[in-house]
Structure 1
Amino acid sequence: MASLAAARYGKDNVRVYKVHRDPATKVQTVTEMTVCCLLEGDVETSYTKADNSPVVATDTVKNTIYILAKQNPVNPPELFGAILAAHFPNKYSHIHAAHVSITVHRWTRMNVDGKPHPHSFLRDGAETRNVDVTFRRNEGFTITSKLAGLLVLKSTGSAFHGFHRDEFTTLKETWDRILSTEVDAAWTWKRYQTIGQVQSDANNFERAFDAARNTTLKIFAEDNSASVQATMYKMCEKILADVPGVEAVEYALPNKHYFEIDLSWHKGLKNTGKDAEVYAPQSGPNGLIKCRVVRKPASKL
């Protein structure tokens, strides 16, 4: 006997571009994003009985995204995600929850002759600012902000030694190595009950993203890293200390390897240890290190 245990549906890969034109300064600001919006509710019969009557069409979901983007601010993405997520349970009584994921693509204003250009932009990196928002009727909003695809590398200042060794271990200890990774960071906010509460924190969302990005870069660059694990924990600690509204921070950092190349076979050419200058970047396999750090509950008096 079969029973539908869970179901959600909606529209994915909705590309949205919005331009804001300031009539006073003639300066334009652009935002480009990719949106996914999935709905939950009393839609079981559409799966089990071929009854489409409860289905809010995915095309309707797509159109709603565009209309709400026209009628509301799309920045910060946490606020737009909350507006979009709340719309569907508020409009349709049989839809109980909405899940919105937003990827904001990077467009950076050009500097021309040393001055910011009023309407020209460049893609200066693959990193994205991402947001996941879930709204459930009578439960409020769960919001997670993310930084993804930020490529970083340092040529020294990283070590890895003292790790467990057994008969399966061939890795040599090192006190000086290249450290390279692609940052995937996420921070989950306190639960919000209303759009008004989310809106009142709009500036905090912006400050938190800047703080998380700056913390990631500063600690990565300055920490004399004993391991990826130790460095990422310091990043989590600092974000929790700097952003009171954040309840948990997560990092996923692949360890992208650069291997020394022994060139001694060619006329005794030295290229290992302290003489290493030419390396072979590896596409895989790679290490993958993750952690989730949560705020400790306040001590009871």
Structure 2
Amino acid sequence: MSVSSRCYGKDNVRVLKVERDVQDPNLQYVQEMTCCVLLDGDIETSYTAADNSVIVPTDTVKNTIYIMAKKTPGVWPIEYFAGVLGQHFIDKYAHISRVEVTITQHKWSRYAVNGKPHAHSFVRDGTEKRSVKLVKDRKLGFKVTSGLFDLSVLKSTGSMFHGFNQCDFTILKETWDRILSTDITAGWTWSPAKLATLSDFKRFYQEGIFDRAYKIVLDNTLTTFALENSASVQATMYNMAQLILGDVVELDSVTYELPNKHFFEINLDWHHGLKNTGTDAEVYAPQSDPNGLIKCTVSRNKSKL
């Protein structure tokens, strides 16, 4: 028998880095991350023969994340730091052939005091988190998918759902006006040809391409959600992805995962004929479960999703 799949490393490594402005040390920047680094390669004997000599201890993996965070001038954008980590393990350990790095960025925003942005004080601003998943393979190179998640949105009108398939199991009524709410998870995969070496990561970092893409994804997602009279979650997420691929030429594909969070009308006719359904609806009951779940990947190629 052989081990058909394996990897190991350190998960939930929390890092906060403070950087001081070169011109004004009182002006500071912070970045908080949760990192996971997993290693694979010529390590099978550690499982099958109790051979620990091929194991890079997970504590070493943790220490490496801290050290590289200290040595890397700017751990943001997180795509660049993920590239630095992935390349480091490949370069340092000849028997390691594949590194998987996942980083979640926790949002801290500088806030104003007496009308002026404070030099070193921050507030947790919003629930959304930025993420990256990077795989560095010694032979195949880099594969990088950036993302965001936990972005909760709701609009009270501008959404409909009708013309859907109906059968003897269907009780859902067609609607031309409904609440639309979801927790957005989005991912965008970078072209491997454009991120082939760590030098490419550095150029993207220096030219602001990673941050620009994040802003475009966020802006296009929120703008489309707000302005489109949505025919369905499926149609809206496809339109979002199309816009992003049109605006960011360095991307190969965009993925959305959108739960459809339901808000049900409450019939209050029993209370002295109080109208609260259809065009009279104002009070709704938020539902925690079950919920719809719609996923989609839109790619530049013509292959089926």
Shift of 1:101: 0.1
Q: Hey, what does 1:255 align to over in structure 2? A: 260
Q: Hey, what does 1:34 align to over in structure 2? A: 34
In the alignment, residue 195 of structure 1 is paired with which amino acid? L
Shift of 1:23: 4.4
Shift of 1:111: 1.5
Cα root mean square deviation, aligned: 0.9
Alignment of 1:119-138 (within 5 A): 119-138=120-139
Q: Which of 225, 248, 251 matches 2:230?
A: 225
- State the TM-score, normalizing by the size of structure 1: 0.97
Instruction: Tell me how far apart the structure 2 counterparts of residues 215 and 237 of structure 1 sit (CA, whole Å).
Output: 10
Q: Which moved more, 1:54-63 or 1:20-29?
A: 20-29
- Kindly provide the CA deviation profile for residues 173-217 of structure 1, in whole angstroms up to 9, marking residues without a partner as x: 000000000000000001122100111112111100001000000
Q: Hey, what does 2:239 align to over in structure 1? A: 234
Identity %: 58
Q: Hey, what does 1:15 align to over in structure 2? A: 14
Gaps of 5+ in 1: none
In the alignment, residue 154 of structure 1 is paired with which amino acid? K
Q: Hey, what does 2:248 align to over in structure 1? A: 243
Q: Hey, what does 2:152 align to over in structure 1? A: 151
Q: Hey, what does 2:87 align to over in structure 1? A: 86
Q: Hey, what does 1:270 align to over in structure 2? A: 275
Q: Which of 190, 194, 198 matches 1:195?
A: 198
Gaps of 5+ in 2: none
Instruction: Tell me how far apart the structure 2 counterparts of residues 248 and 150 of structure 1 sit (CA, whole Å).
Output: 20
In the alignment, residue 60 of structure 2 is paired with which amino acid? T
Shift of 1:24: 2.1
Instruction: Tell me how far apart the structure 2 counterparts of residues 60 and 267 of structure 1 sit (CA, whole Å).
Output: 70
In the alignment, residue 71 of structure 2 is paired with which amino acid? Q
Q: Which moved more, 1:107-116 or 1:184-193?
A: 107-116
Shift of 1:113: 2.2
- Kindly provide the CA deviation profile for residues 61-96 of structure 1, in whole angstroms up to 9, marking residues without a partner as x: 000000000000211111100010111111111100
Q: Which of 288, 291, 305 matches 1:286?
A: 291
Instruction: Tell me how far apart the structure 1 counterparts of residues 262 and 196 of structure 2 sit (CA, whole Å).
Output: 44
Q: Hey, what does 1:186 align to over in structure 2? A: 187
Moved over 3 A (4+): none
In the alignment, residue 9 of structure 2 is paired with which amino acid? G
- State the TM-score, normalizing by the size of structure 2: 0.95
Matched, 1:172 2:177: no
Instruction: Tell me how far apart the structure 1 counterparts of residues 172 and 14 of structure 2 sit (CA, whole Å).
Output: 45
Preserved CA contact (<8 Å) 1:139 1:193: no
